[in-house]
Amino acid sequence: MIVHWDGHELAEWDRVHASAAGSLQQDWAYGSCLKMLGVPVLRARVMDQGEQIAQAQFIVRKWGRFGAVALCTRGPIWSKPLSPEAESAAYKAMKKSLPLTGIRFMAVTPEVSEGQSHGLHPMRRIMSGMSTVMLDISMPMDQLRTQLEGRWRSSLVSAESSDLTVHRVGTNVGQYRWLLDNEMQQRVDKNLDGLPLPFFDLYVQSRKQPSKNILTIRADLGRERVAAMLFLIHGEAAIYQIGWTTEQGRELNAHHLTLWRAIEELQSRGIRVLDLGGVNTVRSAGVARFKMRTGGKVLTLAGTYI
Percent of the chain residues past pLDDT 90, beyond the cut: 91
Asked if residue 168 and residue 264 are part of one domain, the reply reads yes
Q: Encode pLDDT of 154-173 as tens digits.
A: 999 999 999 999 999 999 99
Type of residue at 89? A
Asked if residue 104 and residue 60 are part of one domain, the reply reads yes
Asked if residue 148 and residue 107 are part of one domain, the reply reads no
Asked if residue 274 and residue 141 are part of one domain, the reply reads yes
pLDDT band at 115 (very low <50, low <70, confident <90, very high): confident
pLDDT band at 242 (very low <50, low <70, confident <90, very high): very high
Cβ–Cβ under 8 Å, residues 180 and 200: yes
Structural domain includes residue 128: no
What is residue 182's predicted lDDT score, i.e. its pLDDT?
Answer: 96
Structural domain includes residue 182: yes
What is residue 43's predicted lDDT score, i.e. its pLDDT?
Answer: 98
For residue 116, what is the domain's CATH number?
3.40.630.30
Structural domain includes residue 305: no
What is residue 292's predicted lDDT score, i.e. its pLDDT?
Answer: 96
Q: Encode pLDDT of 31-47 as tens digits.
A: 999 999 999 999 999 99
Q: Give the whole-angstrom CA distance, residue 194 versus residue 188.
A: 11
Q: Encode pLDDT of 101-111 as tens digits.
A: 899 999 999 99
What is residue 79's predicted lDDT score, i.e. its pLDDT?
Answer: 95
The SS3 assignment for 241 reads strand
The highest-confidence range among 61-70, 143-152, 188-197, 281-290, by mean pLDDT, is 143-152
Structural domain includes residue 105: yes
What is residue 64's predicted lDDT score, i.e. its pLDDT?
Answer: 81
For the chain, what is the mean pLDDT?
Answer: 95
What is residue 22's predicted lDDT score, i.e. its pLDDT?
Answer: 96
Mean pLDDT of 274-282: 90
Asked if residue 186 and residue 74 are part of one domain, the reply reads no
Give the residue numbers spanning the domain of 248. 133-300
Q: Give the whole-angstrom CA distance, residue 298 versus residue 277.
A: 10
Q: Give the whole-angstrom CA distance, residue 260 versus residue 152.
A: 11
Taking 80 as the threshold, does the pLDDT of residue 49 lie above it?
yes
Comparing 20-34, 177-191, 214-228, 274-288, the range with the smallest average pLDDT is 274-288
Pairing relationship of beta strands 304-305 and 297-300 according to DSSP bridges: unpaired
What is residue 66's predicted lDDT score, i.e. its pLDDT?
Answer: 86
Dihedral over alpha carbons 18, 22, 25, 28 (to 10 degrees): -20
> What is the distance in angstroms between the CA of the first residue and the CA of the last residue of the chain?
20
What is residue 147's predicted lDDT score, i.e. its pLDDT?
Answer: 97
Mean pLDDT of 90-96: 97
Taking 80 as the threshold, does the pLDDT of residue 226 lie above it?
yes
Asked if residue 208 and residue 89 are part of one domain, the reply reads no
Q: Give the whole-angstrom CA distance, residue 251 versus residue 14.
A: 41
Nearest Cα to 17, choosing from 120, 133, 108, 111? 111
Structural domain includes residue 38: yes
What is residue 284's predicted lDDT score, i.e. its pLDDT?
Answer: 83
DSSP E strand boundaries for 128-267: 131-136, 164-169, 214-221, 224-234, 237-245
Print burial letters for 275-297: b (CB count within 10 Å at least 16), e (below 16): bbbebeeeeeeebbebbbbbbbe
Domain closes at, from 123, 151, 169 = 123
Structural domain includes residue 190: yes
pLDDT band at 65 (very low <50, low <70, confident <90, very high): confident
Structural domain includes residue 175: yes
Taking 80 as the threshold, does the pLDDT of residue 283 lie above it?
no
